[in-house]
Amino acid sequence: MIRAENLVKRFRGHDALRGLNVNVPEGSAYALIGSNGAGKTTAIRIMMNLSESSDGRATVMGVDSRALSPRELSRIGFVAESQRMPKALTVRQYLDYLRPFYGKAWDRGLESSLVKNMRLPEDRRIGELSHGMRMKSGLVCALAFRPRLLVLDEPLSGLDPLIRDEFMQGISEQAGETTILISSHEMNEVEGLISHVGFIEDGRMLFEEPMSGLASRFRQVCVTLAREAVRPAAAPGDWVDLRTAGNVLTFVDTRFSESGLGERIRAVFDEVREIDTEPMSLRSIFTAMARHAAVVGGES
């Protein structure tokens, strides 16, 4: 659905994107994850032809992003944290204004259902709405015509927990019939929705893969020794974020396999008393990999 190849974006001598590659499969719910300033919004703006890349290219629905026509744009729903909407119009007036642009694709029944479920005040002017209400209004406008592609750029920033839940519920109801690309640093909020994830840091893709593979290959490992734990001089390359506390050493195994785990650990450490492993959340995985990337980058 979306493919970006070697995207580079320079701002006044600073590279916001450094050869970024992204592949969003059709039918997926893909999260572009990263800390603030990682390059998520810059990448999305290039993919949506809202900004030009310094190098590289992106295609959306098989079309070069620089050549997106009204035909493609009419099949893309877009909601961004910084999105501007006409403040003088009420929610109802704005929906009435947008509806003719989409013709038969606009689903009046879905529109009514979304307005009700989002608890939107139809007679209020958009300029009088809270940030959360404006974001929900934008989501209704982006979903009512059942887009083939829904792009959400940091939609959860600044929303209170209840608004976040309502917003995510509105998105989840469209998952499956719509390809979703969502950028966020609110990883706990999007984890239950997404099928694929891409981790971006400092303008580069650390890795991207289906969530099923990610969940199975990452584990937090805790090793209890009979003596004080010391970081090994040469740990396996797939062990990252190694830490010690007393006689306990923890690390993240990025290529976890239950088979032979004890043998691999005992080949590095003597006097192993106990080995425990735990699944990791999306946030924990990203934090560990971001720390690892910072250490590797600092050493290079």
Closest CA to 191 of 140, 156, 241: 156
Say if CB 148 and CB 76 are below 8 A apart: yes
Q: 300 falls in which pLDDT band (50, 70, 90)?
A: very low
Model confidence pLDDT, tens digit, residues 179-210: 999 998 777 778 888 999 999 988 999 889 99
Model confidence pLDDT, tens digit, residues 12-60: 888 899 999 999 999 999 999 988 888 999 999 999 999 999 999 999 9
CA 86 to chain centre: 28
User: Whole-angstrom Cα distance, residue 88 to residue 20?
Assistant: 39
Enumerate the β-bridge partners of residue 2. 24, 60
- pTM of the predicted model as reported, rounded to 2 decimal places: 0.88
User: Whole-angstrom Cα distance, residue 225 to residue 231?
Assistant: 12
With the CA atoms of 30, 35, 36 and 42 taken in that order, what torsion angle do they form, in degrees rounded to the nearest 10? -40
CA 247 to chain centre: 37
| pLDDT score of 118 more than 60 | yes
DSSP sequence for 6-57 = EEEEEETTEEEEEEEEEEE-TT-EEEEE--TTSSHHHHHHHHTTSS--SEEE
CATH code for the domain defined by 2-209: 3.40.50.300
Between 100 and 297, the higher pLDDT residue: 100
Closest CA to 149 of 1, 35, 269: 1
| pLDDT score of 298 more than 70 | no
Task: Check residue 296 and give its pLDDT.
Answer: 67
Looking at this protein, which amino acid is placed at residue 208? Answer: E
